[in-house]
Amino acid sequence: MDDKSAIAKTKETAKEILDRLEVRGEIDVHMQEGDEDRKYLAVKIIGEDLGNLIGHHGKILEGIQTILGLIIGRESEGQYRVILDINDYREKREEYLVSMALQAVDQVRESGQDLELEPMKPNERRIVHMTLQKEKGIATESIGEGEDRRIIIKKED
């Protein structure tokens, strides 16, 4: 499957999913930088009242991305990976995580106490770790397993 066919197939499949869910939205699909073995198809859906497609902390968005990715992966023999965003949720979530992490650092510095954050998905924990890596005198570590994995922010010794 070539890139043009992959984009068309991804857009068609995303539209089918929206139709089955009885939801309207504008769908844009484009190629995104990837690694050597796999290309990335960025799927962006914009529209009103799409909050139900995002779900709490993006859980439904992740589910839809998984389904769309499985379909496109099967059709392209694993050549493409799908990254779905709905109403710029991912960008807004990243901004929130950065802001929350920096506020947590202030709290740790003031109180001197370690602070345990809510459980997060791996990509979200990575954003927090990367953000706080630049903070002098602060250390982060992940604890827990699976869905309960979370970050602890603490003063460095």
Tens-place pLDDT, residues 54-100: 998 889 999 999 999 999 999 988 889 999 999 999 999 999 999 99
Torsion region of 141: left, alpha or beta (phi above 0 gives left; psi -120 to 50 gives alpha): beta
Find, among 156, 112, 148, the residue nearest to 132 by Cα. Answer: 156
In the chain the first and final C-alpha atoms are separated, in Å, by 54
Whether the pLDDT of residue 11 is over 90: the answer is yes
Band of pLDDT at residue 1, cut at 50, 70 and 90: confident
Whether the pLDDT of residue 36 is over 70: the answer is no
Indicate the domain borders of the chain. 3-87, 92-155
The model carries a pTM of 0.78
Q: What is the pLDDT of residue 61?
A: 94
Tell which CATH architecture fits domain 3-87: 2-Layer Sandwich (3.30)
Q: What is the pLDDT of residue 153?
A: 97
- CATH superfamily of this structure's domain 92-155: R3H-like domain (3.30.1370.50)
DSSP string, 143-154: ES-GGG-EEEEE
Whether the CB-CB separation of 117 and 124 falls below 8 Å is answered with no
CA distance 14 to 4: 15
For residue range 37-55, list pLDDT tens digits in order. 678 999 999 999 898 999 9
